[in-house]
Chains A and B, each alone.
Chain A
Amino acid sequence: MIELIDVYKAYTLKKVRKVIFENLNFRFEQGRNIAIMGPNGAGKSTLLRLIAGTEQADSGRITRNVRVSWPLGFAGGFNGSMTGLENVRFVSRIYGQDTEWVIDYVEEFSELGKSMRLPIKTYSSGMKARLAFGLSMAIDFDCYLIDEITAVGDANFRRKSKEALEQKLDHSRIIMVSHSLGTIKSYCDCGLLLTHAGLTYHDDVESLLSAYNASCA
């Protein structure tokens, strides 16, 4: 379970101060798959990073008593001059996983073949995304944070990713940012609508989607 208590977050850039969250309180219940929807710039990705802990709130507290993933969906954490294999080994080590098992899994899943032994900077963005997704599926989390992930790779890889993610849902929960109604319908059972006015919780996806459509109109 993850809880946000009185979270305040603002960015100051070039002397422009932009408040993203003020007095944000929310409790993510265990056992629910939660969608986060909202217009661009409402703070969806920021919320995900706060939950993950890759970013700190300016004030307030965020507690988690489950293993939460890093925000999946972009390959920002790779070191370009190290090979795919070395990057995978590193992440597997910090999360205390069986390194050999993780390597086998990622090699099979990402279908990168010999490219695993080449530096990441030689990869195309599709290859990087495949490696990143394979790696995140190889590590066990109680809660996966997903930021717009579904548009990666060819049809075959998308099918595989979908299967892997669905398998994860047997034991783990997800919190997912997406604009795609189909994706949200197939993975989530409740959701948050994040607009510039604030945060509203919807206990089922239908009500979330209609509120989202109303807010866009």
Chain B
Amino acid sequence: MAKLLALQARVLGALVLRETRATFGTSQLGYLWAIATPAAGVAILVLVFASIGRLPPFGSSLALFFATGYLTLEFFRKLSSSLMTTFNANKALLTYPIIKETDTLFARFLLISATYLVIMLIFYSVLIIFGLADLPRHPDQLLYAFGAIALLGFGSGTFNAVVLSQWASWQYVEQVINRPLFIISGVFYIPSRLPPEALAILKWNPVMHLIEWVRTGYYPNYDSMVLSRTYVVGCSLVLLLLGLAGERLYRKKRVSV
């Protein structure tokens, strides 16, 4: 058992290093871009809203409000779409019987989560240092929220990967589902203030709950009328279960190189 765990750790470690190299290239600039891209997204939102003279929907900082929404959404989206293509990207690796397809999935998940942890730490720290945000009020809740984003992203990404391996058109369907998330997840508004008819529909979107969770953790008095932690964790577990069961079921059907 200990031997198996050591083997698993070794394979995952090597895969994460390889994946890091493949994602960021050899230059330090690669890491910089990984951090700059989501930060630029938040900056553009702030610029647009500030230029039309809007006040922050909540709190006193536009940057903080958008960061809690946009960084959460991007972390989820990155996991969901990158994990989807893992099986195809890593076909050559299956030459080595010691590597299982699920290992490549785990390795990518670990790398993306670690990257977003760094991105968020840097981004929030910068906001705090420049006086654009206070310290988070409930750091423990923020930590749980981070875990919840990772879990939903992992579940969704695993599910996507398995469906894609059986049905190549799924990548287009996934795009259709993924695109409107920016509008319907509450990135730039407060879901609780939506008309009840709209909210009744939109609250089925688990990503909205993630954003609400992050804001509840960051702000001292963000009262969410929608947030259900059970719902979003439940969604994640169902997706993850379907994904992993599907992987097990179709493992033999995937023709290796």
Contacts and interface: CB of A to CB of B under 8 A. Distances in A.
Interface of A: 11, 49, 52-58, 68, 70-71, 76-79, 81-82, 86, 90-91, 93-96
B245 interface: no
Contacts of A81: 22
Contacts of B6: 96
B92 interface: yes
Question: Interface SS of chain B: helix, strand, loop or mixed?
Answer: helix
Contacts of B5: none
Nearest to A55: B256
A58 B22 contact: no
B45 interface: no
A79 B95 contact: no
B196 interface: no
Interface string B165-183: 0000000000000000000
Contacts of A76: 92, 95, 257
Contacts, number: 55
B241 interface: no
B19 to A, nearest CB: 10
A94 to B, nearest CB: 5
Interface string B226-254: 00000000000000000000000001100
Interface string B90-102: 0011111111000
Question: What interface size band does chain B fall in?
Answer: 20 to 34
Interface in B6-62: 6-7, 10-11, 13-15, 17-18, 21-22
Given A70-B95, A86-B21, 18 more contacts: A52-B97, A54-B96, A54-B97, A56-B251, A56-B252, A58-B252, A77-B92, A77-B93, A77-B95, A77-B96, A79-B22, A81-B22, A82-B22, A90-B18, A93-B17, A95-B98, A96-B6, A96-B10
B201 interface: no
A70 B256 contact: no
Contacts of B121: none
3 closest Cβ pairs, A-B complex: A77-B95, A53-B97, A93-B14
B4 interface: no
B255 interface: yes
Contacts of A55: 256
Contact of B98 (A11, A56, A82, A94): A94
13 contacts: A53-B97, A68-B97, A70-B97, A76-B92, A77-B93, A78-B92, A79-B22, A90-B14, A93-B17, A94-B11, A94-B14, A94-B98, A96-B7
Contacts of B251: 56
Given A58-B252, A82-B18, A94 B10 contact: yes
A70 to B, nearest CB: 5
Contact of A70 (B11, B17, B96): B96
Contact of A57 (B93, B98, B252, B256): B252
